Amino acid sequence: MASASDTVSAGSGARTAAERKGVVTRFAPSPTGYLHIGGARTALFNWLFARHHGGTYLLRIEDTDRARSTEPAIAAIFDGLNWLGLGGDEEPVFQFARSDRHAEVAHKLLAAGHAYRCYLSQEELAARRAAAQAERRPFRIESEWRDADPATWPEGQPWVVRIKAPRDGATTIDDLVQGPITVQNAEIDDYVILRSDGTPTYMLAVVVDDHDMGVTHVIRGDDHINNAFRQLVIIRAMQAIEGEDGEAGWEDPAYAHIPLIHGADGAKLSKRHGALGVDAYRDELGLLPEAVFNYLLRLGWGHGDAEIISREQAVEWFEIGDVGKGAARFDLKKLLNFNGHYIREAEDARLAGLVADRLGGLDGTGLALLAKAMPVLKVRAADLLELAAGARFLFAQRPLALDEKAAGLLTDEARALLGAMAERLAAEEWAAEALEAALKAMAEERGLGLGKLAQPLRAALTGTTTSPGIFDVLVLLGRDESLARIADQAAMAA
Ligand code: GLU
pLDDT tens-digit readout, 312-346: 999 999 999 999 999 889 999 999 999 999 999 99
Distance CA 87, CA 309 (A): 20
Q: Give the rounded percent of residues in the chain with a pLDDT score beyond 90.
A: 87
Q: What tens digit of pLDDT does each residue of 189-221 get?
A: 999 999 999 999 999 999 999 999 999 999 999
Choosing from 268, 271, 325, 405, the catalytic residue is 271
432-446 helix and 412-426 helix, angle to the nearest 10 degrees: 130
Structural domain contains residue 194: no
| Ligand 1 atom with the shortest distance to the CA of 42 | 8
Structural domain contains residue 471: yes
Q: Quick one: pLDDT at residue 14? A: 57
Determine the residue of 60, 201, 222, 224 to mutate for testing ligand 1's pocket, defined as the one with the most ligand atoms within 8 A of the Cβ atom: 224
3 has pLDDT over 70 = no
The whole-model pTM stands at 0.91
Distance CA 156, CA 318 (A): 56
Q: Which domain holds residue 387?
A: 351-395
Edge to edge, the sheet with strand 160-163 lists 115-118, 160-163, 192-194
For atom 6 of ligand 1, which residue has the closest CA? Answer: 28
Structural domain contains residue 360: yes
Distance CA 37, CA 77 (A): 11
For atom 5 of ligand 1, which residue has the closest CA? Answer: 28
Structural domain contains residue 273: no
Determine the residue of 24, 206, 208, 209 to mutate for testing ligand 1's pocket, defined as the one with the most ligand atoms within 8 A of the Cβ atom: 206
Q: What tens digit of pLDDT does each residue of 380-395 get?
A: 999 999 999 999 999 9
Residue 440 sits in a domain of what CATH number?
1.10.10.350
Cα 21 to averaged position of ligand 1 atoms, centre (Å): 24
Verify that 479 and 429 share a domain, yes or no: yes
Number of structural domains (the chain) is 2
Q: What tens digit of pLDDT does each residue of 18-36 get?
A: 667 799 999 999 999 889 9
Q: Residues with beta carbon inside 6 Å of ligand 1?
A: 28-30, 62, 206, 220, 224
Per the CB < 8 A criterion, the answer to whether 373 and 452 are in contact is no
10 has pLDDT over 50 = no
Structural domain contains residue 300: no
Q: Quick one: pLDDT at residue 471? A: 97
Which of 334, 320, 279 has its CA nearest to residue 44? 320
Verify that 369 and 435 share a domain, yes or no: no
Cα 359 to averaged position of ligand 1 atoms, centre (Å): 39
Cα 223 to averaged position of ligand 1 atoms, centre (Å): 9
349 has pLDDT over 90 = yes
Give yes or no: 452 in active site. Answer: no
Q: Quick one: pLDDT at residue 169? A: 97
Q: Is 378 annotated as a binding residue?
A: no
Averaged pLDDT score across all residues of the chain: 93
450-462 helix and 412-426 helix, angle to the nearest 10 degrees: 90
230 has pLDDT over 80 = yes
Q: Quick one: pLDDT at residue 34? A: 87
2 has pLDDT over 50 = no
Verify that 441 and 364 share a domain, yes or no: no
Q: Give the rounded percent of residues in the chain with a pLDDT score beyond 70.
A: 95
Choosing from 341, 369, 395, the residue where a domain stops is 395
9 has pLDDT over 70 = no
Structural domain contains residue 124: no
For atom 7 of ligand 1, which residue has the closest CA? Answer: 28
Average pLDDT over residues 62-87: 96
